[in-house]
Amino acid sequence: MKLEALPWLILFLPLLAAAVITLFTRHKRNLSAGISIGAVVTGFGLSLIFVKLSSWQPNPPETAVTWLALGDFKVDLGLRFDPLSLLMLLIVTGVASAIHIYSWGYMRDDRGFSRYFACLSLFTFSMLGIVLANNFIELFIFWELVGVSSYLLIGFWFERPAAADAGKKAFLTNRLGDFGFLLGILTVWSTLRSLNFADLRETLAAHPQALGPLATVAGLLIFCGAMGKSAQFPLHVWLPDAMEGPTPVSALIHAATMVAAGVYMLCRVFFLLDIPGSHALEVISWVGGITAMLSAVIAVQQNDIKRILAYSTLSQLGYMVMGVGLGGPTQAMFHLTTHAFFKALLFLGAGSIILALHHEQDIWKMGGLRQKMPTTFWTFLVGTLALAGIPPLSGFYSKDVILALAAEQHAYGRFVLGAAVAVLTAFYMFRLVFVVFFSAPRSESPGHARESPAVITWPLKALAVFSIVAGFIGVENLYRSQFGAVGTERAVTTTQQIAAPFVEAPLAAGFGILAAAIGMLAAYSIYAKAAADPLPEKLGALSRAMRNRFYFDEFYEATFIRFHDLLAAVAAWIDRWIIGGLVTFTHGTTELTGRALRLLQTGNLQAYAFLFAFGVALVLFLVLR
């Protein structure tokens, strides 16, 4: 088999699985799960082989078929294999494999078991499409497919109104961003006459001013797409609500892959943003920084275990976007990679707890789970340490490079922002760990909790290993080969990589560790022995605002949604009375005329004959006169 056929197979296997499950095996639960898991695990295996055999050049040949040709507008269905997409291919199939297997255990008793796996496979297909796409249109198609499958999975328990609403909210918010994204794509097409990434890159390398005054606008419009999908401020409101979906879905879609698609897309088109004269990157980095800060603050006062993790995801996505905005796609992708591992791990750990406590999600009803669920505890702790940025776990390295980048660019405002977010991150994560795993059980159910079965703990262990080592196995160097040597000579051996942050940017590394330590100690002093959260009393109104997510939903409800309702009412009135009136008038006139003419139809044959003869005579008279 030729090597080019392999990625096509990887891409379409999950789609095939989704189709087979939907059409044939809906009532055979284990077969459905087997097909879905088989497809993604095979995909992972094939990805490993393919990646092993690939050349790792920044600009490899593409395989493409023309899908649509309209004049000089041509849309390819093509695949691109540069280091960026190869690594993402591994991450997506790898994390998806772990989560598929985990789902088998987690969703065991659910009625929609087969439907769940069909949706999950559809999602995997769409995500792989985004990763491998070689042009904007293809990317956009898969982008929307991801949106659809995310909608299906968030609203998986559609009997619950909250879940159905959350699905709708996610979809609509994403559409808002995608509208900007589409406009951005059209802007690029109308100025550069091409949508292929490689072509665009060449054009812009040859003529950096090709976009002219539209450079900033195009960059920001494209960023709108990322803003929706990666849930950046002010479109961040959908992600916390998306936690209504099953926990493995939250882990796969709303932590590791789909929300990372926005960041991935920004890195993919980084050459479009990084143009002299364009201010897009500056805006992007500030939006990222604000999102990171805002959601970290909100996370401090959330009490639902999944919502804490959701806000933490938002905050880390803000970090990545800030990294891109500071001119460091390498750093952003590095953080994306490590984050995919440890955030998926944290979500799956949370899922394990939720399952053991019979769908209890309030952390103030947990406690003392350290002895009851040792595997979950240790893996969760690994994820927490990685997220908080404790060396030598992966999160430390990826967070460090972003902080170092900010310092290197002399963007001290954003450096301080990043460091403050790091403090808050460590604080809310250890708050979570102390409350959930230490001290005494706060309600009945944690006392009876038991460790989850092997099908759930094994994915946890696998992800924990990656969360530990992903920082120093050369991931960053691979991304660096894609985006060119931005920095200095990089570390090569593992030991060098472990020590790299301290050698290259001791300031950033120092601040990073200091921030994590401060957050951790603060969390320990407040929450190690707490029976209830002491912060609401101390902070008063601020805490209430944090718990209520700074009233963003209420604000949107009162302004945008109200305004939209008004607009809809006006449109409905016009439709009903003006357009509808016109239609009623037309059909009314026709009917009246018809009723009048019906009187002429007597049914008498001879009357017809007489009229006929009379008519002929009249015509003859008029003609021959």
Partner 1 sequence: MTIGLEDYLVVSMLLFCLGLLGVILRRNILIIYMGLELMLNAANLALVACSRFNNNLDGQVFVFFIITVAAAEVAVGLALIVALYRKRQTAHVEDLTSLKN
Nearest to 351 by CA among 527, 105, 144: 105
Between residues 172 and 592, which has the closer beta carbon with respect to partner 1?
A: 592
Does residue 187 contact residue 214 with C-beta atoms inside 8 Å?
yes
What part of residues 134-163 is at the interface with partner 1 (CB under 8 A)? none
In the complex, least distance from residue 587 CB atom to partner 1, rounded to whole angstroms: 20
Report how far residue 384's alpha carbon sits from residue 426's, in angstroms, rounded to the nearest whole number: 8
For residue 625, the minimal CB distance to partner 1 (Å) is 18
Nearer to partner 1, 71 or 603 (CB): 603
Q: Which two tokens stand for residue 3?
A: 């090597």
Helices (H), 357-453: 369-372, 374-388, 394-408, 412-437, 444-447
For the record, the structure tokens of 237 come out as 């409101």
Q: Tell me how far, at minimum, the Cβ of 619 lies from partner 1, in Å.
A: 15
According to the binding rule CB under 8 A, does residue 488 interact with partner 1? no
> SS3 sequence, 8-43?
HHHHHHHHHHHHHHHHCCCCCHHHHHHHHHHHHHHH
Shortest Cβ distance from residue 571 to partner 1 (Å)?
42
Whole-angstrom distance, CA of residue 47 vs CA of residue 91? 10
Question: CB-wise, 23 or 623, nearer to partner 1?
Answer: 623
The Cα–Cα gap between 10 and 48 comes to: 11
Q: Which residues contact 293 (CB under 8 A, 6 or more apart)?
A: 315, 318, 417, 420, 421, 424
- Residue among 488 and 606 whose Cβ is closer to partner 1: 606
To the nearest whole angstrom, how small is the minimum distance from the Cβ of residue 612 to partner 1? 10
Nearer to partner 1, 560 or 614 (CB): 614
CB of 594 to partner 1, least distance (A): 11
Tell how many helices (H) and how many strands (E) occur in the chain.
30, 2
Q: What minimum distance in Å lies between the beta carbon of 588 and partner 1? A: 20
Rounded Cα distance between 557 and 102, Å, is 37
| Total site size for partner 1, rule CB under 8 A | 11
**How far apart are alpha carbons 409 and 603 in whole angstroms?**
95
Q: Kindly identify the residues of this chain, within the stretch 28-47, that bind partner 1 according to CB under 8 A.
A: none
Closer by beta carbon to partner 1, 70 or else 596:
596
The least CB distance from residue 591 to partner 1, in Å, is: 15
The answer to whether 422 touches 512, Cβ cutoff 8 Å, is: yes
Adjacent-strand bridge partners of 196: 135
| Length of the chain measured in residues | 625
Phi, psi for 572 (deg, rounded to 5): -65, -40
What is the closest distance, in whole angstroms, from the C-beta atom of residue 586 to partner 1 in the complex? 24
Out of 440, 507, 609, 619, the residue judged to bind partner 1 by CB under 8 A: 609
371 or 606: CB nearest partner 1: 606
Q: Tell me which of 24, 73, 412, 610 binds partner 1, using CB under 8 A.
A: 610
The residue within the footprint of partner 1, chosen from 503, 613, 618, 620 (CB under 8 A), is: 613
Q: Which residue, among 233, 322, 315, has the nearest Cα to 285 in the 3D structure?
A: 322
**Nearer Cβ to partner 1, position 73 or 614?**
614
* CB 606 to partner 1: min, Å: 5
Question: For residues 371 and 601, which CB has a smaller minimum distance to partner 1 in the complex?
Answer: 601
Give the DSSP H/E element, type plus range, for residue 79: strand 73-79
Identify residues 566-605 at the interface with partner 1 (CB under 8 A): 598-599, 601-605
* Cβ closest to partner 1, residue 69 vs residue 613: 613
Q: How far is the CB of 178 from partner 1 (least distance, A)?
A: 58
Identify which of residues 531 and 611 has a Cβ nearer to partner 1 in the complex.
Answer: 611
CB 385 within 8 A of CB 393: yes
Helix (H, G, I), strand (E, B) or coil at 81: coil
Q: How far is the CB of 599 from partner 1 (least distance, A)?
A: 8
**Lookup result for tokens 């405002």:** 413
Return left, alpha or beta for 491; rule: phi > 0 is left, psi -120 to 50 is alpha, else beta: beta
Q: Cis (ω within 30 of 0) for the bond into 246?
A: no
Q: Which helix (H) or strand (E) holds 211?
A: none
- The SS3 call for residue 362 is strand
Residue closer to partner 1, measured from CB, 521 or 611: 611
| Spatial separation of the C-alpha atoms in residues 621 and 66, rounded to whole Å | 70
Q: What is the distance between the alpha carbons of residues 273 and 442, in angstroms, rounded to a whole number?
A: 51
Shortest spacing between CB 622 and partner 1, in angstroms: 19
Closest-CA residue to 178 (of 307, 66, 265): 265
For residues 577 and 610, which CB has a smaller minimum distance to partner 1 in the complex? 610
For residues 349 and 337, give the distance between their C-alpha atoms in angstroms, rounded to a whole number: 19
Q: For residues 548 and 593, which CB has a smaller minimum distance to partner 1 in the complex? A: 593
Give the angle 338-342-343 at the CA atoms, nearest 5°.
110
Shortest spacing between CB 597 and partner 1, in angstroms:
10
**Interface ranges with partner 1 (CB under 8 A):** 598-599, 601-606, 609-610, 613
